[in-house]
Amino acid sequence: MRLRSLAMVFCAACLLLVTSGPASLAQWYWQQQPQQRQQWSQRPPPPPQQRVQQQQGGLFQFLFGQTPQQPRVYQQPRQRVVAPPPVRRRQAPVIVRDDPVVPKVDVAHHVLVIGDSLGNLLADGLDDALEDRPDVEVVHKAKADSGLVRSDFYDWPKAVSEILAGDQKISAGVMLIGLNDRQPLREGDTVHEPLSPRWLELYRERIDAIAGAFAARRIPFIWVGAPPVQNARLSADFVTFNDLYRQRVEKAGGQYVDLWDGFVDAENRYTASGPDVSGQPMRLRLGDGIHFTAAGARKAAHFVDLVIRRIIEAAPQGSVIALPAPSESGAPPAAQQGSIERMIDLMVAGVQPVIGLSPALQARPLAGPIQPLTGGQAPALGQPLLASIGEARGRGEAAAPLERAFGQGIAPDPVPGRLDDYRWPR
């Protein structure tokens, strides 16, 4: 019993020594050594990490006089800061255009376009068609809702005379009209119904007045026929109008351009879609069944563009194009011998002049004598060709192979190495 009590006291003393012993002994030591305490108080305090290590090893240092192996302090490795990659500025893409650089030149030719709303769209198409010709300018003078019937709304014969008499130089004139002409024509107090005999007579006079104004100034004039429309009755009247345009304009020395075939289908009926100038199927007419789309205006301008280019190329550089004055019968005068400019003017007007040959050229035959490749003699001039071949085939060393080839139709034997030798090599 006594031994058990002593053991418990000993254990309690050890526990007290472990928990608070080092602090009590240190307090007693500092009280007994004031001089050393003063020296230690003047030392700088240890860092917090070392301070923790001293507190952990104080008991071992007091009991055994040595400091235990200090535990390793694992510090979290610093994360390596990686610099962001440099941001490269994306350079603007270099755009290479295939459009040819057209040099700036002075305008030498002015093409006047007159008419109604269809004529205005035709002028837009000509702007696009003649874009590669900076020396050509399209002058827009068309007026929507106008026509040849309502001279009280807009008098085209008078307007054309004023335009041609102005300061504007005109190299060629183009007209497309007729959309608003299917209405009664007033003559004084009398009103004539459309396409009546007197109506047609008055309509011809107004066409002649416009075409005659260009012919008087010897300016090439192109009248463009009205295209078919969705309204079948109006299209039928356009056929009559186009016949009048063709007759009167060609009589005055101008040219007529027909658009009808470019805007109908295979059965000669109106179609709103069709191939454009590049051959691709496109919509050519608007929803009203009358006016052109951009592709339709460009297609209509294609037919007129060809005529304008021929007129411009036939004119001397930097001069105004002029046609010969028409005769009383309406036909252009005959071409003079040796006058190239006169012949060109006639060809532009649509007349093919007859160019005569000199006597020396007329005496020469169209073809020379025929020489056989086999070395036979040439047939005499005037001798029939078949007879000469038969005679050449009937005599000489070349008679047998010629008779076999041309008479019997047997091909000659192939020669080794030649193209007709199809035998397999052995």
CA nearest 248: which of 330, 178, 324, 307? Answer: 330
> CB burial class (10 A; 0-12, 13-18, 19+) of residue 141?
buried
In sign, the C-alpha dihedral spanning 116, 121, 126, 131 is positive
What span, in angstroms and rounded, lies between the C-alpha atoms of 137 and 110? 5
What span, in angstroms and rounded, lies between the C-alpha atoms of 61 and 45? 19
Taking residue 291's Cβ as centre, other Cβ atoms within 10 Å add up to 16
What span, in angstroms and rounded, lies between the C-alpha atoms of 143 and 276? 26
Q: Are 238 and 194 in contact (CB under 8 A)?
A: no
What span, in angstroms and rounded, lies between the C-alpha atoms of 219 and 5? 146
- Given phi > 0 = left and psi -120 to 50 = alpha, else beta, which region is 243? alpha
Output the CA torsion 37→43→44→48 (10° steps).
-50
Strands 221-224 and 281-283: unpaired
| Residue 364 in tokens | 């020469």
Burial profile 174-200: b = 16 or more Cβ within 10 angstroms, e = fewer: bbbbbbbbbeebeeeeeebeeeeeebb
Write out the chain's pLDDT in tens, 426 residues.
Answer: 667 777 787 777 777 665 555 555 556 555 656 666 666 566 666 555 544 444 444 544 545 555 555 556 556 666 676 667 776 666 667 666 666 565 677 888 999 999 999 999 999 999 999 999 999 999 999 999 999 999 999 999 999 999 999 988 999 999 999 999 999 999 988 999 999 999 999 999 999 999 999 999 999 999 999 999 999 999 999 999 999 999 999 999 999 999 999 999 988 899 999 999 998 999 999 999 999 999 999 999 999 999 999 998 887 554 445 454 454 444 444 334 444 556 666 665 555 555 554 454 444 555 555 555 655 454 444 444 444 444 444 555 657 777 777 777 787 778 777 777 777 776
User: pTM of the prediction?
Assistant: 0.54
Q: Are 115 and 142 in contact (CB under 8 A)?
A: yes
What span, in angstroms and rounded, lies between the C-alpha atoms of 122 and 224? 10
Distances in Å between the Cα of 210 and the Cα atoms of 135, 162, 206, 242 are: 26, 11, 7, 15
Q: Are 129 and 183 in contact (CB under 8 A)?
A: no
Tokens 């009247």 label which residue? 237
What span, in angstroms and rounded, lies between the C-alpha atoms of 278 and 286? 20
* Residue 374: strand, helix, or coil: coil
